[in-house]
Amino acid sequence: MPDLTLQRCASCGAELPERDARTSCPACGGLLALEHAPPAERGAALRDRFDARLRDAAAGHVADAAGAARASGVWRFRELIMPGATDADIVSQPEGNTPLFHRPSVAAWAGVDGLLLKHDGFNPTGSFKDRGMTVALTQARRAGARAVACASTGNTSAALAAYAALAGVPGLVLVPAPKGGAQQVALGKLAQTLAYGARTLLVRGDFDDCLRLVREGAERLGVYLVNSINPYRIEGQKSVALEILQQLAWNAPDWIVLPAGNLGNTSAVGAALRDAVRLGLIDRAPRIASIQAAGANPFASGYRENFATQHRVKAETVATAIKIGDPASWDRAAAVIREFDGVVTDVSDAEILEAKAAIDAAGIGCEPASAASVAGVRRLAREGVIRAGDRVAAILTGHVLKDPGVLLDYHRADHDAPLVNAPVEVDATLDALARVVDATAAAAGR
C-alpha cells in the first residue's frame, strides 16, 4: 500500500516517509507534522461513519487486539489520525470514550452554568496521555523500533510503560530525580511506571534537562522518541476534541479549555478543530483557552506580548504535570491560539487547589494540573472573557489518584482552605462514633 501519511517539517518543509522513525527534521531540527490523504467522505457522511463506530463500540467487543482497536475512542477517528493503520497494526487497550460530566456545584464554583467536564482521567492509565501513546506505540512497531523512550513529568511515563508492555517493545523513561528529599514526580505516576515495567532513570536535573537528554540520546542510540514532539502522539491526542464534538452531537461548544505545559495538547486540540472544520464535521470552531500555572507560565507571558518571542522560566508549581519552563510545542501552539481566537492565562497554585477541592468534592476528582482548566474558567468568567451563558468544555487531564501526596497535604486539620476534610482520630467506642455521625449529619442539615 502506498503511504497515506507524509511527515513534513513545520520549519523548512522537508519531507519524510510515513514510517521514518526520526521525530525531528534531519535538515533543520524543526518539529514534524503529519499530512494524511483526505478521507473518502466528509460532512454528514463522515459524521455518520464515526457515529456508527460509536454505536458499534457500545455494543461490545471481545477484547482481543482487533476488538480493542474497534472499541477505542482514538481509533474511531482513524481516518484523521493514521489512515494507513490496520487493526493488526494497532496497539490499543482500548482508550478514550471518557465521560463528559455536568456537575452543578463545579459550574457554580466557576460561575459558568454551561460548564462541562471532559474527564480524561478515565483513560486506562488515568490520563489523556494514553490517547497519544496508543498511536506512538503503533507507529513504533510499524517502524521496527528496538526500544521507545520519553522524558516525563510522570503521566507520559505511565502511559509509555503500559503501552510498551502491550506492544512488547522495551520502554525507557527519564524523570527528574528527587531533590532535597522531595519527589519531583507524583507518587501514583512513578508507581505505575515501575509496575508496568519500563526502565526508569532518575535524572539529576529538571524536566527540561530530561527532555534535552532524551532528544540527544534517541537519535544516536536508535531509540524511538515518544515525547509530545513526536507527531504521532499529537495525532492521537486530537481525539479528545473529536470526542467532545461527537458527545455534543457535533454542535461545537463556545470554548474548549485545557491546562497547558509542554503545549502538545493545545496543539492537538487545535489540529483536531482544524480537521473538523475543513471536513465539515462542524460548522464553526470553538475558541480555545490554554491555562498555565502562574509559576510555570512562559506561554501566558508570551501571549500577553502577542508571541513576539519565546519565553523560558524556571518552573515551580504544585501542578507537576504542567511544571514546564521551556515548552517544546511553542510554535504550533501559538499558531493554534492565533487561529482559534484563543486566549492564554495563568492561575495561582492556591486557585488550582481550590478548583481541585471543588472538583474532588463533587465526587469525580482530578489531579492538580487538571484543575487548572476549571480555575482558568473562573478567572476568564470573572474577566468577562467567557460569558455566563457560554457552553464551555473544560478538559480534566488526569485522575485524582495520580497525586495522593498533594491530597494528604491539603486535607490537614491545621490547613485553612476551602473544603478541607481532615481525617478524625477516635477511640474505638460507639459513643465516639455517635458523636461524629451526629455532627456530620447536623452539618449537612439532616
Contacting positions for ligand PLP (CB under 6 A): 127, 129, 155, 228, 259-266, 321-322, 367, 369-370, 397-398
Closer CB to ligand PLP, 71 or 153, in the complex: 153
Which residues on adjacent β-strands are paired with residue 148? 171, 224
Amino acid at position 301, single letter: S
Backbone angles phi, psi at 388, to 5 degrees: -55, -30
Taking CB within 5 to 8 Å according to partner kind, which of ligand PLP, Zn ion, none is near residue 27?
Zn ion
CA 210 to chain centre: 19
Our CB check for ligand PLP shows the closer of 73 and 398 to be 398
Among Zn ion, ligand PLP, none, what does residue 321 contact (CB within 5–8 Å per kind)? ligand PLP
- Nearest-angstrom CA–CA distance, 297 and 314: 10
**Is the dihedral angle over the CA atoms 326, 332, 334, 340 positive or is it negative?**
negative
* Nine-digit cell string for 106: 463545579
Count of residues engaged in binding Zn ion, rule: CB under 5 A: 8
CB of 296 to ligand PLP, least distance (A): 10
Could you say which of Zn ion, ligand PLP, none residue 14 binds, taking C-beta under 5 to 8 angstroms by partner kind? Zn ion
Place of cell 539529576: 204
Task: Please list every residue from 29 through 48 that binds Zn ion, using CB under 5 A.
Answer: 30
Least distance CB 15 / Zn ion (angstroms): 10
- Which of the listed partners (Zn ion, ligand PLP, none) does 39 bind, with a CB threshold of 5 to 8 Å by partner kind? none
- Phi then psi for residue 29, to 5 deg, are 85, 0
26 makes contact with Zn ion (CB under 5 A): no
Q: Where are the alpha helices (DSSP H) in 231-389?
A: 231-247, 264-278, 298-304, 330-339, 349-361, 368-382
Shortest Å distance, C-beta 25 to Zn ion: 3
Query: Going by C-beta distance under 8 Å and a sequence separation of 6 or more, which residues neighbour residue 384?
Result: none
Grid cell locating 382: 470573572
Give the three-state DSSP class for 79.
Answer: helix
Identify which of residues 85 and 369 has a Cβ nearer to ligand PLP in the complex. Answer: 369
CB of 18 to Zn ion, least distance (A): 17
Q: What is the grid cell recorded at 89?
A: 497494526
Q: Least separation, in Å, of the C-beta of 300 and ligand PLP?
A: 12
Binding span for Zn ion by CB under 5 A among 17-25, 74-82, 161-169, 405-413: 17-25
The one of Zn ion, ligand PLP, none whose footprint includes residue 192, by CB under 5 to 8 A per kind, is none
Instruction: Give min distance, CB of 328 to ligand PLP, in A.
Output: 8
Residue at 158: amino acid letter:
A
27 touching Zn ion, by CB under 5 A = yes
Which one, 25 or 115, has the nearer CB to Zn ion?
Answer: 25
Helix ranges (H only) for 168-281 are 187-196, 207-221, 231-247, 264-278
Nine-digit cell string for 381: 468568567
Q: Does 247 bind Zn ion (CB under 5 A)?
A: no
CB closer to ligand PLP, 57 vs 148: 148
Report the interface residues with Zn ion, using CB under 5 A.
9, 11-12, 14, 25, 27-28, 30
